[in-house]
Each structure stands twice: as C-alpha cells, then as structure tokens.
C-alpha cells in the first residue's frame, strides 16, 4: 500500500477564482523522501494542508496510510507530523513548554520519544527557557521539527522548511532529514529550491496547481531528451545578450557563471561563429546534462 | 565614484557585537552581492546603511551622505525592495506607483506623467487598474523594482528579492538588475541563491559580524579553491563560531 495516495485532487479558493490544485495524482511509497518542487503559487501548501486534514478537497480523493484526511481526520492527525511554512508554535511559551505542550496534546511524553529528537533538541537545550518567539529562524525551525516529531509520526509533512535559510543551514537540515528517513519515516517536503530535488528519492515538479513531471531526479533528467549546451564566457552579460540575439537560440538562461543554451536547430559551431562575429572573445561551448532546474524552466517556457 | 564607503562600522547590542568593524566600498554602477549565513550580521549592517540604525562606532557615507548625521538624506536617496515588503496588494498597479512616488515627494503632476510612462515601459498599461494581488508574480516583481527606483536613487538595496520565485522569473529579474546597473544604478543585493552570487561584480561574505572575504566571484573561487560560489560560501560559513542565537 502506498503511504500517500492522491487521485484527481482539486481545490480552489475565492469562489473558484483561484485554482490551487488541478486534478492532481500522486502516489508516495512508505519510507520515501518525496519532494514537491515549485515556486510560490504552485499548490504545494494546499496539497500538504489537505493531506494534513486542515483543508477539505473540492473533488478527488486523498489517503494517508489508508485513512481519508477529510473523513478520518482523527486517525490521520495521530500518524502525521506537520510543519507548516509559517512558524506556528506558541511564541509566548518557552522552548521546553512548546515541546511539552505538543507531547501532551498527542498523549505522548518527551522522555518516551526523546531518541527521535535528541540530535535536534540537544542544540536547543541551552535556550530551553527562552520564549519561542525570541529564537532565530534556524532555531525556530529546529523546534518546529521537534514538535512535529514528538508523537513519533509515521508520515512527516514539511512545508518549505528551508525557505529563507542560508545554504549551510539548508544542508544541515537535509542531513537531518536523511537520518529520519533511516528510521523509516515517510517524508513529504516542499521546496522552491531546485537544487534540493536531487536529495529526494522521487519528486513532482509543480507549477500553478499542476504537476509537470514526476519521477526520480535521475529519471526526469534522462527523460528530457533535450540537448543542452553551456557557454562559459569572460564577458557574462554581453555574451548572454548576444546568445539571445542569435536566431537559432531557443532559450538562454544564466546559470551561475555559465549560460545554458537550447538551440532550435543547427550545431553549436554555428552559435560559436555568431558569437565571434559579434565581438565575443574568450568563450567555450560544450554539451551538458540538463539539471532539474533546466528541465523545470524548459517545461515552464513551453507552457506559456 | 564610491556610492558606499564605510570604515570600522560597528554595532553592538549590549555585550553582543552584531557588526564588527566593517570596512568596504561599493562603486557606482556596481552589482554588489552581500552574503552571509543567517545570524552573520547582514540585516543589522543593511539597516545601518539604509539609515535605519545608527552605528556604535565607525562610520562612512551612503549616496554621499553621512551615516551618523544624515540618515534622513540617506533614506531619500536610496531605493529599497525586499521580497517580504514591497507593494500593497490591495492597491492597483497605478496606485502603488503613485503612492510610493508621493512618499518620495515627486510632484504630483510629474508623478502622473512618470507613472504612465513607467506602466507603458513595463507593458502594464492594460492592467494598470487591476489590484496588485491579481497580477502574476513576475509582473509584481518588475513593478516593485521599478517603484523602488522611480525617485532616481543612486543606489538600490535589494533584500532577498527573488525568494520563492520560479526560476524563469528569477532570471528575468536579474536581467532587470543588469540593465539598471548598465545605466549606472548601483545595486546592493542579498540572496540565498548562490548561483546569483555569480552574477555580481563583487561579493562580500560576512561571518560572525565581520567581512570574511570580498572580491569578484572569479577571484574568490581561486582564493578558496572552489568550483563555484556555493562551495566558497560553505567553506567560509562553516568557520563561523557564533550562531544566530546568542
């Protein structure tokens, strides 16, 4: 049985003016780390909130370990741990009081499940008497994860846990998720950061309420089948503008210190000649494997 | 010409030194990336540079005005945009432009002409009377940036301007930054996307309240023997002693 099964799930807001989810299908296996990858407005939060039994779907069905969040919300709430995107703990309670509160509400106690949160909570111990509202973003996030774990959930739903977090802290957070995965917890995590896709077992790329693509990061990269070239030039901005001006260019985007180029037709040698004749010196063109971000952008550009 | 020049800039809160002797400058027309881990002191430093907070010691100038004594003049002569706070969702595109222009004392008649010109340039004229919340994110961002620079500041501070934005819109936003810098506007930008650090002319990385490194992305990669800016950042940020909590 799938840990999470979603069929034709739809949801709209504002009397149908805003369509948040458009007949989404998903199947997440037990023990998977599953990434919902997409920008703001993709529908990630709506999907997670429906799974967490906090929103009712408009049509379609969802199941979490066999339970329907819309009908059997009491069962669902026992087996999930949910970490919302916005900090939702009690700001006026201390770190320890928050944890105690969540443990009590779920009829658990801190001692019993301390092993699950030890690694995280050890870092919070020096601040255990501090009010949660006075913690830094990184510490708030750690406390929120502790509170989501304290009743030993089988499924973790994490809504953008790394948004606004610096790259080093992001990596630490993912190391932590990998260790939770070892305990067999199914983890569904949403993120706008495309580079986190490769850390997931499987992902769905989402945009404007639809799923553009589903699979392992590897599968998705293989499936794309598009030839992609990188241009590494000394003059970053003028080369970008010139590549875009080349009639054979389908798309050209800056990717860190290189530009990624898809050609409509023709060989990279033709592009190379065009660049030279337009005054771009000192550059290299070579073929590369598309990354998840390349594929996402390709899908987006073909949508519009 | 130096649009920012600071020396020994320090800010302490009680025993804690959030910003510790910053000395650096930013040139006119430069895209300057201001990086650092959460808690490194970026926000405090930005607040001082924007005239919102006074330094404990040290000082310097922003847009030609003294940080210690001319904070009001600084506020008038800089632009500011963040992902969290920029435009009002319940005002129309046109109202947002008029409102911000008014804040900066642009004369009403001139402001009217300028807003129409701006709407036209952004291709937003047909949607000028729509509430901002009904516009696509990419348009909102373009508008937010344009509004932040409509009073012709010499420098604009962009605080994580691309958070949560889709990858195409994120790059379109950087195209706008490039164009503006090309016209001579100075850009001071923070970001957590390390690929964006590569688009900056120079980058500084703060660790524990100090500037731990400052150079062009190419030179930083050589200095720290790294493949990309992500690696440079990780090498530096891992050396941090303090966390965001103290």
B232 and B220 Cβ atoms separated by less than 8 Å: yes
When scoring B38, B230, B233, B236 by the number of chain A Cβ atoms within 10 A, the one with the most, hence best to mutate, is B38
Among positive and negative, which fits the CA dihedral A8, A46, A13, B135? Answer: negative
Q: Which residue is listed with tokens 């100075």?
A: B186
DSSP β-bridge partners for residue B36:
B206
> In terms of DSSP H, where are the helices of A3-113?
44-51, 73-79, 95-105
Q: Is the per-residue pLDDT at B246 higher than 60?
A: no
Structure tokens at B54: 């006074």
* pTM recorded for the entire structure: 0.88
Please list the ranges in chain A whose pLDDT falls under 70: 304
B169 and B137 Cβ atoms separated by less than 8 Å: yes
Query: What whole-number distance in Å separates Cα of residue B75 and Cα of residue B62?
Result: 10
Angle formed at CA B196 by CA A40 and CA A275, multiple of 5 degrees: 115
Tens digits of residue pLDDT in A87-127: 889 999 999 999 999 999 999 989 999 998 998 899 899 99
Give the count of beta carbons closer than 10 Å to the beta carbon of residue A40. Answer: 16
Report in angstroms the alpha-carbon separations of A262 from A38, A230, A233, A270, B91.
Answer: 22, 9, 16, 13, 39
pLDDT at A228: 95
B235 touches chain A (CB under 8 A): no
Nearest CA of chain A to the CA of B237: how many Å? Answer: 7
Residue of A nearest to B35 (CA): A166
> Which chain A positions have a beta carbon within 8 Å of B178's beta carbon?
237
Q: Is the per-residue pLDDT at B244 higher than 70?
A: no
Report in angstroms the alpha-carbon separations of B191 from A195, B8, B34, B35, B206.
Answer: 15, 24, 8, 7, 13
Residue of A nearest to B218 (CA): A257
Mean pLDDT value across chain B? 93
Q: Is the per-residue pLDDT at B169 higher than 60?
A: yes
Give the count of beta carbons closer than 10 Å to the beta carbon of residue A265. Answer: 8
DSSP β-bridge partners for residue A38:
none
Structure tokens at A259: 């530009």
Q: Is the per-residue pLDDT at B155 higher than 70?
A: yes
Q: Is the per-residue pLDDT at B243 higher than 80?
A: no
Query: What whole-number distance in Å separates Cα of residue A182 and Cα of residue A203?
Result: 19
* b/e sequence A82-115, b meaning 16+ C-beta within 10 Å: bbbbeeebeeeebbbbbbbebbeebeeebeebee
Give the count of beta carbons closer than 10 Å to the beta carbon of residue B209. Answer: 25
Query: What whole-number distance in Å separates Cα of residue A277 and Cα of residue A179?
Result: 54
B25 and B5 Cβ atoms separated by less than 8 Å: yes
Nearest CA of chain B to the CA of A23: how many Å? Answer: 21
Ranked by mean pLDDT, the top range of A119-123, B205-209, B235-239 is B205-209
> Beta strand pairing status for B65-66 and B16-27?
unpaired
Query: What whole-number distance in Å separates Cα of residue B113 and Cα of residue B120?
Result: 11
DSSP A189: E
For residue B179, give every residue at least 6 positions away whose Cβ sits within 8 Å of its Cβ, in sequence order, or none. none
When scoring A94, A95, A163, A166 by the number of chain B Cβ atoms within 10 A, the one with the most, hence best to mutate, is A166
pLDDT at A261: 97
For residue B73, give every residue at least 6 positions away whose Cβ sits within 8 Å of its Cβ, in sequence order, or none. B51, B63, B65
Q: Is the per-residue pLDDT at B138 higher than 90?
A: no
Average pLDDT, stretch B78-100?
90
Q: Which residue is listed with tokens 């990385």?
A: B205
Residue count of chain B: 246
Tens digits of residue pLDDT in B141-152: 889 999 999 999
A133 touches chain B (CB under 8 A): no
Closest CB to A237: pick one of B178, B218, B238. Answer: B178
B210 touches chain A (CB under 8 A): no
pLDDT at B136: 83
Average pLDDT, stretch B25-30?
97
pLDDT at A138: 79
A256 touches chain B (CB under 8 A): yes
């Amino acid at each position: 049985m799938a840990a999470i099964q979603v069929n034709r799930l739809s949801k709209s807001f504002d009397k149908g003016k805003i369509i948040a989810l458009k007949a989404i299908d998903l199947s997440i296996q037990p023990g998977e780390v599953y990434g919902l990858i997409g920008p703001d407005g993709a529908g990630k939060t709506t999907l997670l909130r429906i799974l967490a039994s906090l929103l009712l779907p408009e049509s379609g069905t969802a199941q979490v370990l066999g339970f329907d969040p819309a009908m059997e919300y009491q069962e669902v709430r026992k087996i999930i741990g949910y970490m919302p995107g916005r900090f939702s703990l009690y700001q006026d309670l201390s770190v320890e009081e928050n944890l105690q509160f969540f443990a009590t509400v779920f009829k658990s106690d801190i001692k019993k499940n301390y092993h699950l949160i030890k690694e995280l909570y050890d870092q919070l111990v020096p601040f255990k008497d501090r009010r949660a509202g006075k913690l830094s973003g990184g510490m708030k996030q750690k406390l929120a994860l502790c509170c989501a774990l304290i009743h030993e959930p089988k499924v973790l739903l994490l809504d953008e846990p790394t948004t606004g977090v610096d790259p080093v802290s992001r990596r630490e957070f993912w190391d932590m998720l990998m260790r939770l995965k070892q305990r067999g917890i199914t983890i569904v995590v949403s993120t706008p950061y495309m580079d986190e896709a490769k850390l997931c077992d499987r992902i769905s790329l989402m945009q404007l309420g639809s799923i553009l693509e589903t699979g392992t990061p590897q599968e998705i990269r293989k499936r794309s089948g598009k030839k992609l070239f990188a241009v590494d030039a000394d003059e970053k901005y003028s080369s970008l503008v010139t590549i875009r001006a080349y009639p054979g260019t389908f798309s050209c985007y800056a990717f860190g210190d290189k530009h990624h180029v898809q050609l409509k037709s023709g060989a990279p040698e033709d592009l190379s000649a065009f660049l030279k004749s337009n005054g771009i010196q000192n550059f290299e063109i070579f073929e590369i494997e598309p990354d998840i971000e390349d594929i996402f952008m390709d899908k987006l550009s073909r949508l519009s | 010409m130096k649009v920012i020049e600071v020396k020994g800039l320090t800010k302490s809160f009680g025993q804690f030194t959030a910003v510790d002797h910053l000395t650096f400058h930013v040139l006119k027309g430069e895209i300057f990336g201001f990086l650092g881990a959460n808690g490194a002191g970026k926000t405090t430093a930005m607040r001082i540079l924007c005239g919102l907070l006074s330094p404990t010691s040290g000082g310097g100038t922003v847009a030609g005005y003294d940080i210690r004594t001319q904070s009001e003049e600084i506020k008038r002569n800089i632009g500011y945009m963040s992902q969290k706070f920029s435009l009002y969702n319940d005002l129309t595109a046109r109202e947002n432009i008029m409102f911000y222009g008014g804040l900066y004392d642009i004369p009403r008649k001139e402001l009217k002409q300028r807003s129409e010109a701006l709407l036209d340039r952004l291709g937003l004229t047909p949607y000028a009377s729509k509430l901002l919340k009904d516009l696509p994110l990419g348009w909102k961002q373009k508008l937010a940036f344009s509004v932040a620079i409509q009073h012709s500041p010499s420098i604009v501070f962009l605080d994580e301007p691309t958070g949560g934005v889709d990858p195409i819109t994120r790059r379109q936003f950087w195209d706008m930054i490039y164009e503006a810098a090309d016209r001579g506007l100075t850009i001071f930008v923070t970001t957590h996307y390390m690929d964006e650090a590569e688009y900056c002319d120079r980058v500084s990385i703060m660790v524990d309240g100090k500037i731990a490194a400052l150079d062009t992305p190419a030179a930083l990669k050589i200095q720290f023997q790294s493949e990309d800016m992500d690696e440079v950042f990780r090498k530096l940020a891992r050396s941090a002693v303090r966390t965001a909590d103290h």
